[in-house]
Structure 1
Amino acid sequence: MTDQICISPVDGRELARRPTESAAAMEAILADARRAQLEWAEVPIAERGRKMLVFLDALLGLNQQIIPELALQMGRPVRFGGEMRGVEERVKHCVATAEASLAPIVPEPKPGFRRMIKRTPLGLVFVIAPWNYPFLTAVNTIVPALIAGNAVLLKHAAQTILVGERFQEAMDKADLPKGLFRNVVLDHEQAGALIAAGAFDHINFTGSVAGGRAVEKAAAGTFTSLGLELGGKDPAYVRADADLDFAIENIVDGAFYNSGQCCCGVERIYVHESLYDRFVAGAVELTSRYVLGNPLDDATTLGPMSAARFAETVRSQTREALQKGAKAHLDPKAFPADREGTPYLAPQILTGVDHSMRVMVEESFGPVVGIMKVRDDDEAVRLMNDSPYGLTASIWTREVDVAEALGDRIQTGTVYMNRCDYLDPALAWTGVKDTGRGASLSEIGFQLLTRPKSFHLREAR
């Protein structure tokens, strides 16, 4: 067992250190969760939802503390105000739609019989949350899992270890059964051993492809259901009929917000040849306005990446692309905070790129984006699908029917038109290929956090 430590990307200091749970403590935590779940399952859905709104109010009340904590833990500038707007939208939508989403399925009447399919809780849900959107990604599963009648254990990333504590603090205000929700501190080995032992009924993991494979391997043979949101290399396609200024503004934001550390951030751009030069010029001009610096400074619009090793991955991809003939459009010297060997990395736009370069096919998860010129829709779709990932894809056009038709051909979990980098809680959040399996949010998210139970009741004569 190893302590879980957060090293701040802001200045390299140790921000927080927490000891991992002992084997005895975990045994008691699991037992408490199982007991609490049985009690919780008897609580009406509407009451469960009301308690989640109490949790939400408590979490919103902590936001002024949370905003600088996030900046210190993972580098997001304080000027963006944290994640609570999205958290509030998702929690309220879950509460509002829970009863309809979890209602029994009743087939056509059959004389002499009562038939239905009820949605029953899975039992104990284990959420392994990432650092990049530490509240939003976790709440996607935690709240619907609880409303559906499950118990939840949360293991947060060491980089955002304080986020788990804020979840616990807010949940404690909701007067839940003792042990129903618990933030636990575990290292990878402990988590893997618990998964392999069949300690959980469902596991939701958000993180790397390698991490997802490790979870899947640990769960092999346990029949534990999994929800995995893994890597991404999300494309944007700017058609000839796009609103160019609107596309530039939103795609640049989708590429560089949160220093590019977004699950559904734009990582590659394909632009119709008729708009290509103007798009590149506009994107470069807009990106040059970013201010890289200390995320606690209100003037900063681009903070450090969460760790120096992640910044080095982006630097390495960029160096390789340049060696193969790509062109860099931004001078890192224009961003004085950029320093080799640190998490502070200037944004970069590359042209002259192709799919032989890692920056166009491997996940970057940082402030770099490549732009390619395309002749037509067919070439754009071919390039968009030339990826081992498939989380989201955005199409920038004035034609809704065209966007839908193209979306049918793109291998992705979500198709956007004239927007990107957003989760609609009414829609399933899911991916294809190496991006993972399962789904969260929407009615489908509730379904995957429950199991169907059929009732075939024959009336006595």
Structure 2
Amino acid sequence: MYATQLLIGDQWVDSSDGGTNETFNPANGELIGFFAEATTADVDAAVAAARAGFESDAWQSMSPDAKGRLLWRIADLIDRNAVELAALETLDQGQPTTVSTAISVPLAAQVFRYYAGYATKLEGKLSPVSIPRQLTYQRRTPLGVCGLITPWNFPLDIAAWKLAPALATGNAVILKPAEQTPLSTVRLVEICREAGVPNGVVNLITGGPQVGKALVGHRGVDCISFTGSTAVGQEIARTSATDLKRIGLELGGKAPSIICADADIDAAVQGNLKGALFNTGQACGAFTRFFVPRSKVDEFTSKISAAADALKIGHGYDPETILGPLVSEEHLNRVASYVASGKEQGAQLVSGGERVGGELQNGYFFRPTVFTEVTDKMKIAREEIFGPVLSIMPYDDIDEAITRANSTDYGLVAAIWTKDLVTAHSLPQRIKAGTVFVNQLPLIDPGAPWGGVGLSGLGRELGSYSIDEFTEPQSVFINLD
């Protein structure tokens, strides 16, 4: 049984009122641990500790090279503790070990090493101004105290995406993981301490939505980086407008996948199945709307539904499991309600559409669900489901498919399946999305930006773009007279 505390400054402490909350194993519904439920007073203390850590001589005087080596040590410790971290992700979030072991943990370490290199490359520039006898240059300065609020679907990775560039650029942070999945983030913060991060530079608060609201509304916080639902992101934007703090928002998605007439149908079936059901569909970049030429709808539907039915559903620690549980009973009910709405609005259910029973009945398992004859106005075609639900939508010509794919409030990712090189290069520029994948899964790499347009968010993470998210340019004018 796990029992975790808050990290405020250099002290691991209980909540100031002794409050705790519970976290459960989504594969069987069993209680696996308790975590401290932070209070407003705890948030105040964490902000004060972060400010002190940011301004401390230990952090301000640390050289870029030393910062880089610090981040590299964190990456090495992630690798050293990989088995434990992967087990925590599988236990607390439900990720199959094929995801937690082969993707989540290695990617977290890779992100820290990527930004370790950036610590020595935060360059400014010299500006040729028209004022006589002036030397004018710009330098990047850290924002100060950054609140990092992470979601429950990829707790370790998204914490790394935010934490690594924030530290590389010299900020102090307060990490707030989702209340459903705090365990791997707590362990990551322990690793940061072990690596030698100075006191107060990394702080941890855990708890529910009220804790996040207190962090967002705090006047001592200079920046909020949030990944989660669009509704919460909109609330963060409204709250942050009060003091105009910097915000970065990576929100929901409703990714279209356009299967062109010349596409290899078998490759498109396998690629779209994996792209839709990665982490049981609990990914903002999951493919969800499948635009298929009307002449190939029957073939595509029969093949993808048969392939979905054949996937192994089970506990994440089973190495043969492809589909693990949804994260909670609440979320399972939400997914089920979307499936019910699809039926009510006239979509044709081809396969799945129900909770898994039998020996898995105590877990939050839901069968992969395929609908066809889905229209653009149906709820399952418009709203983010965040689960294993696939909507197949016939089209008659490619211009129609593009228009319908863009007919959404979201714009995070999209996919195109084609064997034609001209199509592969010409269609992405017509699609409203932060990232377009051609003939492949929704892959993520530290070197490429990640983020969306519209209700999918503001700003970009990863690549050099995260450096922009966590720094402010400062101009310096030197009078040479």
Smaller-chain TM-score range?
over 0.9
Is the contact between residue 314 and residue 360 of structure 2 (CA under 8 Å) also seen in structure 1?
A: no
| Aligned length, in residue pairs | 459
After TM superposition, the structure 1 stretch with the greater mean CA deviation from structure 2, 43-52 or 357-366, is 43-52
Cα offset for 1:98? 4.4
1:281 counterpart = 2:302: yes
Corresponding position of 1:137: 158
**Whole-angstrom CA distance in 2 between matches of 1:154 and 1:304:** 26
In structure 2, runs of 5+ residues without a counterpart are 1-16
1:131-280 correspondence to structure 2 within 5 Å:
131-280=152-301
- Alignment correspondent of 2:13: none
Q: Are the structure 2 counterparts of residues 185 and 323 from structure 1 closer, same or farther at C-alpha, using a change threshold of 3 Å?
A: closer
Name the aligned partner's letter for residue 383 of structure 1: R
The offset of 1:339, in angstroms, is 7.4
Matched, 1:31 2:48: yes
Shift of 1:400: 4.1
SS at match of 1:96: helix
State how far apart, in whole Å, the 2-side matches of 1:338 and 1:140 are. Answer: 37
How far residue 389 of structure 1 moved from its aligned partner, in angstroms, is 0.9
1:60 paired with 2:100, answer no
Residue 80 of structure 1 pairs with residue 102 of structure 2: no
Aligned CA distance change for structure 1 residues 337 and 259 (closer, same or farther; 3 Å): farther
**Structure 2 counterpart of 1:362:** 383
Q: Residue 388 of structure 1: which of 390, 406, 409 is its match?
A: 409
CA distance in 1, matches of 2:293, 2:364: 34
The CA distance in 2 between the partners of 1:375 and 1:303, in whole Å, is 36
Contact 2:327 2:364 in 1 (8 A): yes
Shift of 1:284: 1.8
User: Residue 68 of structure 2: which of 46, 49, 53 is its match?
Assistant: 49
1:329 positional shift: 2.3
Which residues of structure 1 form unaligned runs of 5+?
none
Whole-Å Cα distance in 1 between the matches of residues 236 and 355 of structure 2? 42
Contact residue 78 and residue 109 of structure 2 kept, 8 A: no
- Read off the aligned partner of 1:224 and give its amino acid letter: K
Give the conservation status (yes or no) of the 8 Å contact 1:291–1:335: no
Q: What's the counterpart of residue 296 of structure 1?
A: 317
- 2:126 corresponds in structure 1 to 106
My pick for the range that moved more, 296-305 or 110-119, is 110-119
Does the CA contact (< 8 Å) of 1:332 and 1:338 recur in 2?
no
1:307 aligns with 2:307: no
- The alpha carbon displacement at 1:416 in A equals 1.5
Letter in 2 for 1:422: L
- Contact (CA 8 Å) 1:338, 1:346: kept in 2 or not? no
Would you say the 8 A contact 1:428–1:440 is kept in 2? yes
* Residue pair 1:41, 1:121 contacting (<8 A) in 2 also: no
Native 8 Å contact 2:372 2:392 kept in 1: yes
Q: Do structure 1's residue 14 and structure 2's residue 31 form an aligned pair?
A: yes
Moved more, 183-192 or 7-16: 183-192
Partner of 1:413: 434
User: Helix, strand or coil for the counterpart of 1:455?
Assistant: strand
Using the alignment, how far apart are the partners of 1:351 and 1:297 within structure 2? 31
1:55 CA drift (Å) = 0.7
How far, CA to CA, are the matches of 2:210 and 2:116 in structure 1? 35
- Cα distance in 1 between the residues matched to 2:358 and 2:289: 25
1:14, 1:69 → 2: CA distance? 14
**Residue equivalent to 2:4:** none
Letter in 1 for 2:173: V
Which residue identity lines up with residue 3 of structure 1 in the other structure? Answer: T
Name the amino acid aligned to 2:46. Answer: I
Aligned-pair CA distance for 1:364:
0.7
Q: Percent same amino acid among aligned pairs?
A: 29
SS at match of 1:58: helix
Cα-to-partner distance string for 1:229-256 (whole Å, 9 max, x where unaligned): 1111111111112232222211100101
Q: Which moved more, 1:86-95 or 1:130-139?
A: 86-95
Which segment drifts farther, 16-25 or 424-433?
Answer: 16-25
**Partner residue in 2 for 1:122:** 143
Moved more, 149-158 or 398-407: 398-407
Q: In structure 1, the residue corresponding to 2:125 is in which secondary structure?
A: coil
Residue 32 of structure 1: how far off its partner (Å):
2.7
- Residue identity matched to 1:167: L
CA contact (8 A) 2:68 2:120 kept: no
> Does the 8 Å contact 1:119/1:450 carry over to 2?
yes
Counterpart pick for 1:424 among 445, 450, 458: 445
Q: Which moved more, 1:329-338 or 1:287-296?
A: 329-338
Q: Distance in 2 between matches of 1:35 and 1:451?
A: 20
**Aligned CA distance change for structure 1 residues 89 and 275 (closer, same or farther; 3 Å):** farther
Amino acid paired to 1:321: G
After superposition, the C-alpha distances for 1:237-281 in whole angstroms (9 at most, x for unaligned) are 111122322222111001012110011111111112343333222
Question: Cα RMSD (Å) of the superposition?
Answer: 2.3
Instruction: Measure the CA separation in 2 of the matches of 1:203 and 1:278.
Output: 46
Distance 1:377 1:258 in 2: 30
Cα distance in 2, alignment partners of residues 109 and 223 from structure 1: 29
Q: Distance in 1 between matches of 2:146 and 2:329?
A: 33
Relative to structure 1, is the Cα distance of residues 33 and 324 closer, same or farther in structure 2, using a 3 angstrom cutoff?
A: closer
| TM-score between the two structures when normalised by the length of structure 2 | 0.89
Shift in Å, 1:20: 2.5
Give the Å deviation of 1:449.
0.6
Deviation at 1:112, TM superposition (A): 4.0
Residue-by-residue CA offset, 1:289-332 (whole Å, 9 max, x unaligned)? 21112222223221110012212222222222223332222256
CA distance in 1 between partners of 2:344 and 2:78 (Å): 48
Residues 1:248 and 1:41: Cα distance change in structure 2 (over 3 Å): farther
Moved more, 400-409 or 53-62: 400-409
